Amino acid sequence: MELRVGQGWRVGWRSDQHYAGLVGAEDWATELTDAEFRAFVELFRQLHEQLQAIAPELMPEEMITLSGHNDAVQLELEGYPHAYSLHLIVLGDRRVEGTWPAPVPPDFLLACCELKDGIAKGQSLQ
């Protein structure tokens, strides 16, 4: 398994399993199917980009909540552009919920995107 770990997060990939992806925090983790993992990363990226786009319009003390969903996952990002929490609900055949408390480090999103992009390019990540 390709596993990346940072302060308060972990993300992994193992292509030879039905539940190929893994996401988690320090005290919890869940496995995701290929489709769930890709949907999670894409939605996470979209919400982060939306937050960064509206950041200049927010007052420094103003918090914001952004949420979105697709067929596989529901995400909610809450906090400030530089320090937000992330809440995940898996909508598949099993119900899973988890939260990364604020501040979710930018390197978590980067690691998720790198794994997803490597998978899309057909690179072996085992």
Q: Identify whether the C-beta of residue 84 lies closer than 8 Å to the C-beta of residue 103.
A: yes
Number of domains in the chain: 1
Instruction: Name the average pLDDT for the chain.
Output: 93
Q: Which helix (H) or strand (E) holds 46?
A: helix 34-54
The answer as to whether 126 is a domain residue is: no
Range of the domain at 88: 2-121
| Structural domain contains residue 105 | yes
What's the average model confidence in pLDDT over 21-39?
Answer: 96
Question: Model pTM?
Answer: 0.91
Q: What is the mean pLDDT of residues 107-122?
A: 88
**Residue 70 maps to a domain:** yes
pLDDT at position 123 is 52
pLDDT in the model for residue 28: 97
The domain that contains 18 carries what CATH number? Answer: 2.30.31.10
- The Cα–Cα gap between 101 and 9 comes to 10
